[in-house]
Amino acid sequence: MHGFTLVELVVTLALLGLMAAMAAPLAELTVQRQKEQALHEALRDIRGAIDHYKLAAEQGLVERQVGDTGYPKDLYVLENGITNQKSASKELMRFLRKVPRDPFNPNLQVPPAQSWILRSSASPPDAPAEGDDVFDVISHAQGAGLNGVPYKEW
C-alpha cells in the first residue's frame, strides 16, 4: 500500500487554500453586483411610480389641495393607491405593486417604504431632506458602486 507523504498533503492543502483565497473576492464581487442591480431596478421602479403619480396629479386624477406640488405625500400611497377623481366609480389608482426595499439598508426590521432616504421637492439635490412630499428616493448605501459613482448620486 502506498500512502501520501506529509509533504504531499501540505502542498495539496496550500493549493486548496490559495484557490479559496482567490475565489472569496470573486464571490464578494458577485454579491455586490447583485445588490447594485437590485438597487438600479428599485430606483427605476420607485422613480417611475413617482413620475406617474405626478402626471396623474397634473391631469386632475389625484385630488390636490392649494399649494400641493402634485408629488405623493409618502411611498405608501404609491402601493396602497389613491382615488381616481375622474372615475365615476372612484376606483383606486395604484402606481406600484409593492414598494421595493433598499438592498443596501442593513436594518431588515423597517418596512420597505421606510428603508429609503426621502427627498422632498423643496430640498436641493446636494442636500436632500424630507418634507411635505416625495420627489426622489436615495439609497442608504455608503461608498461608490463598481462603476465609481457614489451610491448617493444614483
Mean pLDDT of 19-48: 88
- Dump pLDDT digits (tens) for 1-15: 577 788 888 888 888
Q: Does residue 140 contact residue 104 with C-beta atoms inside 8 Å?
A: yes
Report yes or no on 151 lying in a domain: no
What percentage of the chain exceeds 90 in pLDDT?
54
- Quick check: helix, strand or coil at residue 126? coil
- Dump pLDDT digits (tens) for 75-134: 999 999 999 888 888 899 999 999 999 999 988 899 999 999 999 999 998 888 999 999
User: What is the pLDDT at residue 24?
Assistant: 74
Q: What is the DSSP letter of 100?
A: P
Burial of 141 (0-12, 13-18, 19+ CB in 10 A): buried
CA distance 123 to 56: 22
- Quick check: helix, strand or coil at residue 16? helix
User: What is the pLDDT at residue 27?
Assistant: 77
By residue range, what is the domain housing residue 107? 6-143
Total domains present in the chain = 1
Report yes or no on 1 lying in a domain: no
Question: 49 or 26: whose pLDDT is higher?
Answer: 49
User: What is the pLDDT at residue 31?
Assistant: 86
pTM, to two decimals: 0.80
Q: Does residue 77 contact residue 94 with C-beta atoms inside 8 Å?
A: no
CA distance 53 to 137: 14
Report yes or no on 150 lying in a domain: no
The 3-state secondary structure of 63-78 reads CCCCCCCCCCCCCHHH
User: What is the pLDDT at residue 28?
Assistant: 82
- Quick check: helix, strand or coil at residue 125? coil
Tracing cell 482567490 back to the chain, one arrives at 22
Q: What is the DSSP letter of 55?
A: H
